[in-house]
Amino acid sequence: MSVHAKRTAFQGASRPPREPLSGAGDLVSATEVAYPAPHHYHEGVGAPELESALAERPDEASLAVKVRLPFCRHACRFCASQCVPSHDSRQAEPYLSRLDREMVLARRRLSGLPPVSRLHWGGGTPAFLALDQMSDLFDRLDARLGLSAARDRDFSIELDPREADMLTLRHLQALGFNRLSLGVQELDSRVQQAINRIQPRALTEALVDEADRLGFRELTLSLMLGLPFQTPQGLADTLEQVLGMAPARIRLHRYDHRPERHLAQRAIHRDWLPDAATRRRLLTEARAHLDAAGYVHIGLGLFARRDDRLAQARASGNLGHGPLGFTQGPAGDLLGLGMGAHSRIGELWVRNADTLAGYEGALDASRLPTACGIRLTPDQQHHQATLEALLCSRSIDPATLSTGADLEALCTEGLVDLAGGRMALTAEGHWQLPRILETLAPPPGP
């Protein structure tokens, strides 16, 4: 049977090219599967549109909140984030005042809001803040937006083990955080030196043990593949040590070498990087290693133990995905606060100014710091929902696709199965999402 979905929209410019980790499957980031992709945002959508979208939300609809804290004491050479180097946490004070201003301006537009039950602090390095600054920020979030005290709230934070100790963990727990994500990247010392991130195993292990004792749940450890001097044997050793810490979740990221875009990466020589065949082995063997250890691939390089909530949500068909990643149940809207933060309110997707001057300047002029965005058309909303469904359930009705994708070609390549009127991702297809999404969802024109 020939299966071709109807092509209606979505022809146009392609996504920016990237260097694949391997030709036999790849790690793909949430940004890469976002539809429409952030590079389609434009300045015609800004603060007035966000204000209207906030004002029009139903009072009873939940809202997740993500706070971006861009400061970093150390400069990792692999970094692709827009971060603000600093050695003194007092330098974050003006930024924290602007965050408060942003909360006030956003809250003014919301006529009602249930207690926020999904909160995430991301970096930079959130633990760059001193403990009293963390308390103050948490109090301001509670005062301005109202934070949930329910036991099932999901309050998570990214931690750099070099910036956190036992006191930090106890303080975060006392504030109400219950989930941690620790960056490990690689434990091999030669790789650590090349990326300028010296992080002995004992440092991470001590934090993991303490987090466990304090009752933090669903600890995530993040590793990066494709780093300079990384070898399959070195990565296997790292994985063994990480598995020994028994985290609930392990996330694999891909190192994307783009020195023309990311200044920090200019200190990494291209000939330090593993070649294509080695990158292929790194991913293939890491997948096999995690599979053998009993971890389930949730998607986008995130693995979870079988007893983890996300693994259970996947098994029961209750997995959601949104701007904060995979969730148990539907993801809902997100309000992003801080420099470069993204928000998604209904069909409106926006990004804040991604320089400190732009962010602070807008707030000093009493404007929300929205720099650009996009309002999704009904067609785009439909397609985005279809892609999220494919990501979460791995199977969709091909009739819901609104492109003229050649599904038979994907089937011939072994990436999807077409049987019983469904299009299902194969195990390999899940690792070839960029290839599949490119076929299913050519990005919209400008």
Least Å distance, CB 83 to ligand SF4, is 4
Judged by CB under 6 A, the residue of 27, 28, 92, 125 near ligand SF4 is 125
Judged by CB under 6 A, the residue of 5, 34, 54, 72 near ligand SF4 is 72
Judged by CB under 6 A, the residue of 75, 246, 277, 419 near ligand SF4 is 75
Comparing CB distances to ligand SF4, the nearer of 71 and 431 is 71
Judged by CB under 6 A, the residue of 28, 79, 221, 242 near ligand SF4 is 79
Q: Which stretch binds ligand SF4 (CB under 6 A): 74-82, 173-181, 245-253, 393-401?
A: 74-82
Least Å distance, CB 18 to ligand SF4, is 18
Least Å distance, CB 392 to ligand SF4, is 28
Q: Give the footprint of ligand SF4 on residues 416-445 (CB under 6 A).
A: none
Sequence letter at residue 164: A
Q: Give the footprint of ligand SF4 on residues 382-421 (CB under 6 A).
A: none
Report d(CA 25, CA 40) in Å as an integer.
26
Judged by CB under 6 A, the residue of 20, 36, 46, 123 near ligand SF4 is 123
Report the SS3 class of residue 168.
helix
Comparing CB distances to ligand SF4, the nearer of 185 and 403 is 185
Least Å distance, CB 222 to ligand SF4, is 10
Pair of tokens at residue 379: 């067609």
Least Å distance, CB 71 to ligand SF4, is 8
Comparing CB distances to ligand SF4, the nearer of 126 and 234 is 126
Pair of tokens at residue 414: 């072994």
Pair of tokens at residue 167: 């006191």
Half-sphere exposure of 227 (CA within 13 A, CB side): 28
Judged by CB under 6 A, the residue of 29, 62, 81, 400 near ligand SF4 is 81
Report d(CA 329, CA 320) in Å as an integer.
5
Torsion of CA 390, 396, 401, 406, to 10 degrees: 90
Pair of tokens at residue 191: 């790789």
Report d(CA 426, CA 28) in Å as an integer.
16
Judged by CB under 6 A, the residue of 83, 184, 211, 313 near ligand SF4 is 83
Q: Give the footprint of ligand SF4 on residues 159-218 (CB under 6 A).
A: 160
Should residue 124 be labelled a site residue for ligand SF4 when binding is judged by CB under 6 A? yes
Q: Which residues have C-beta within 8 Å of that of residue 241, sequence separation ≥ 6? A: 187, 201
Backbone angles phi, psi at 351, to 5 degrees: -130, 140
Comparing CB distances to ligand SF4, the nearer of 81 and 173 is 81
Least Å distance, CB 295 to ligand SF4, is 24
CB 52 within 8 A of CB 346: no
Should residue 76 be labelled a site residue for ligand SF4 when binding is judged by CB under 6 A? yes
Q: Which stretch binds ligand SF4 (CB under 6 A): 13-21, 71-79, 89-97, 164-172?
A: 71-79
Comparing CB distances to ligand SF4, the nearer of 200 and 244 is 200
Report d(CA 348, CA 53) in Å as an integer.
7
DSSP 300-312: TTEEEETTSHHHH
Backbone angles phi, psi at 391, to 5 degrees: -65, -40
DSSP 237-290: HHHHHHHHT--SEEEEEE----TTT-GGGGGS-GGGS--HHHHHHHHHHHHHHH
Backbone angles phi, psi at 221, to 5 degrees: -110, 130
Interface residue list for ligand SF4 (CB under 6 A): 72, 74-76, 79, 81, 83, 123-125, 160
